[in-house]
Amino acid sequence: MRIKPVEEDVFFLQKTISDLREEVEQLSVLQDMSRQIISIYDFDQIVNMFLEMVQQTTEYNSCALYLWDENLSSYQPVRFQGISGKDLKNLKLEDEIIEWVLKEGRCTNIFLNKSSPKCPNKGENDFVTIAPLQGVKRDLGFLLVFSDPAISLYQANTKHLSFLAGQTGVALENQDLYSKLNRSREYVHNILEGISNGIIAVDTADRITHVNKNATAMLGLPSADIIGLTYKKALPPDVAKVIDSAKRKTARNGCAFETQFEHVVVGDDPIPLAMAFSPFIDHEGHHVGAIIVLRDMSASQELERLRELDAMKSEFVSNVSHELRSPLTGIKSYVEALLEQVDPDDTRTQREFLTVVDRETDRLAALINDLLDISRIESGRFEIELRAVALSGIIDAVLRDLESRTAKHKVVVDIPSDLPNLWADTDKMIQLFLNLTDNAIKFSPEGGEIAIRARMEGKMIKCDISDQGLGMAKKEIPHIFEKFYRVDNSDTYPKFTTVIVKSLGKPIC
């Protein structure tokens, strides 16, 4: 057994210590650089620093960084040095190899034969080192490092490369999260700025943390530079007073509070505003402030009025369409029967059917005239010709027109013979009583009584038309002459309820 000289052991120890010191220094440098790369949130800066650190560590001949592309659903080269894009396209690495490297999560050296078409630079780069870039929960990509065999197989270099790739993966994931956070903030900011309402956010110390441009416009603030000020200092006194009251009521009731008030901007008319004061709770359930939403009620009230009017007009058109369709359907049915089913020599049936067609035609003409009268009323061209007329004559004319429709009902007329004449437009009064009586017929059960009674009350004649239908609820009576208003008795009344009588009744009266 040979005994080593002491000098050899000392030399070995000195070299080992020197190598360890160098390794520690290099690791210290790598650690400092990794701290820098993790603190960066710019994509290009992260990639440039990563490739620079790899160059210092491995002294590569060429490299290519691949990252996952969501749109293409594949890994795509985003940066390469010392190698052309054409050579990268010719480099065909099996997907199984990349998947295995990413699954193992460590650097892997692959030998490339010089004559192989997979080798981008024949005679130069025989080895490629694949370094996986991984985040906390997903694979981000990988780095291909082409270098001399001695360097590629050097274990320390591979270890350093793995460390840098791991830190860069964390940095890229942080950068992606940071970008998404910025986009989310920008998105929320654009929403708050674009919303038609005024938005003010305050913290628990009543300091304003956000205010959008519509809030400054509604309140007449000179600018939005009020962030950090308390709302009592930044906002007009009347608005601050309303917020104080809302804040107290919200604290007492434990829920959002809404109120309305008028705010006067200097030089302008008062603006009706609605304010909603809501507690602002974070994801842990802690109270961190409040959200104040301001709405310009002048615009909202007008919009609501237009919506209601539009809805009533739509219903009116639907009702009129139904009413017009009814006589048209009857006319078409009887005409088809005359053409296809009634014997040409059967004059009795022909006359009977033609009588129905004539009656339905008159009904259709009356409806059209009613619509024309409504149009004249709306345009201010509704003319009334007043003359002395007997109420009994008006009722007789109405009952003659409705004779065929009253056959299934009992009609009672009680009009004193000594009633004085009316001073009215005969045609319009006939039209009014015709519509009222027709409505009574529609909503009376078969065999029910329809009564028309009149009597003197002072200097006025009071006329009642009653039926045995369900009638109207007391709450609906004040709306009886409102244009387009319809009583909702869908469960008990027929689907259609005429509204023409109400539209015509008030102007005629």
φ/ψ region of 458 (left if φ > 0, alpha if ψ in -120 to 50, else beta) reads left
pLDDT of residue 491: 46
CATH node for 196-302? 3.30.450.20
CATH node for 310-508? 3.30.565.10
Task: Evaluate if residue 124 carries a pLDDT over 90.
Answer: no
Cross-strand pairs, 289: 203, 280
Q: How far is CA 71 from the centre of its chain?
A: 27
pLDDT of residue 283: 82
pLDDT of residue 123: 47
Q: Which of 334-338, 344-348, 406-410, 473-477 has the lowest mean pLDDT?
A: 473-477
Task: Name the pLDDT band for 330 (thresholds 50, 70, 90).
Answer: confident
Q: What is the pLDDT of residues 377-428, one digit of tens each?
A: 666 666 778 899 999 999 998 888 887 777 788 889 999 988 999 888 888 8
pLDDT of residue 452: 92
The SS3 of residue 146 is strand
Query: What distance in Å separates the CA atoms of residue 166 and residue 159, rounded to the nearest whole number?
Result: 11
Beta-strand pair 287-296/198-203: antiparallel
**What percent of the chain stands above pLDDT 90?**
11
Q: How many CB atoms lie within 10 A of CB 368?
A: 12
Q: Which of 97-106, 143-152, 305-314 has the highest mean pLDDT?
A: 97-106
Query: What distance in Å separates the CA atoms of residue 469 and residue 394, rounded to the nearest whole number?
Result: 24
Task: Name the pLDDT band for 292 (thresholds 50, 70, 90).
Answer: very high
Buried/exposed code over 435-451 (b: 16+ C-beta within 10 A; e: otherwise): bbbbbbbebbeeeeebe
Q: CATH top-level class for 21-181?
A: alpha beta
Query: What distance in Å separates the CA atoms of residue 409 and residue 248, rounded to the nearest whole number?
Result: 65
Please, what is the average pLDDT of the chain? 79
- Domain residue ranges of the chain, discontinuous segments joined by +: 21-181, 196-302, 310-508
Prediction pTM value: 0.44
Query: What distance in Å separates the CA atoms of residue 134 and residue 346, rounded to the nearest whole number?
Result: 95
Q: How many CB atoms lie within 10 A of CB 491?
A: 5
pLDDT of residue 379: 66
For the chain, give the number of residues.
509
96-105: average pLDDT = 89
Pull the structure tokens for residue 89.
Answer: 């396209």
Beta-strand pair 270-281/257-264: antiparallel
Task: Evaluate if residue 496 carries a pLDDT over 50.
Answer: no
Query: What distance in Å separates the CA atoms of residue 224 and residue 226, rounded to the nearest whole number?
Result: 6
Q: What is the pLDDT of residues 417-446, one digit of tens each?
A: 889 998 888 888 888 888 888 888 888 888
Q: Is there a shared CATH topology between the 21-181 domain and the 310-508 domain?
A: no
| Residues 112/128, Cβ–Cβ less than 8 Å | yes
- CB-based contacts of 240, cutoff 8 Å, min separation 6: 231, 232
Query: What distance in Å separates the CA atoms of residue 430 and residue 432, rounded to the nearest whole number?
Result: 5
HEC states along 255-308?
CCEEEEEEEECCCCCEEEEEEEEEEEECCCCCEEEEEEEEEEHHHHHHHHHHHH
Task: Evaluate if residue 492 carries a pLDDT over 50.
Answer: no
| Residues 496/319, Cβ–Cβ less than 8 Å | yes
Q: Which of 33-37, 295-299, 497-501 has the lowest mean pLDDT?
A: 497-501
pLDDT of residue 107: 86
